[in-house]
Amino acid sequence: MAIDPNIDIEDEVFSKLESDIAKTILRKALIWLKPQQQEHIQTLYLSEKPISQAEYAERLGIEESGVDIEVEI
């Protein structure tokens, strides 16, 4: 595998570490939410394949505008 001289490896590593730390902090903060809220946030933003609010609303059988309300409950 060839090394791309245009990529700053240090920046890439720090970016990955910062992202991992932020995800860990976020996941720990999620424990304070209700299980339904945790599921919504996980599905919409944190999963390997996050989905749009429109897709999520369709899954729930509600209007897209109702997704925000569901997360707030």
Domain membership of residue 2 (yes or no) is no
Domain membership of residue 7 (yes or no) is no
pLDDT of res. 71: 58
Domain membership of residue 9 (yes or no) is no
Domain membership of residue 39 (yes or no) is yes
Q: How far apart are CA 39 and CA 17, in angstroms?
A: 25
Domains in the chain, number = 1
Boundaries of domain holding 41 = 27-72
Q: Which of 22, 25, 63, 67 is nearest to 43 (CA)?
A: 67
Domain membership of residue 22 (yes or no) is no
Domain membership of residue 48 (yes or no) is yes
The pLDDT profile of the chain, 73 residues, written as one tens digit per residue, is: 556 677 777 777 777 778 888 878 887 888 898 898 888 888 888 888 888 888 988 988 988 888 876 555 5
| Phi, psi for 16 (deg, rounded to 5) | -65, -45
Indicate yes or no: pTM above 0.75.
Answer: no
Domain membership of residue 50 (yes or no) is yes
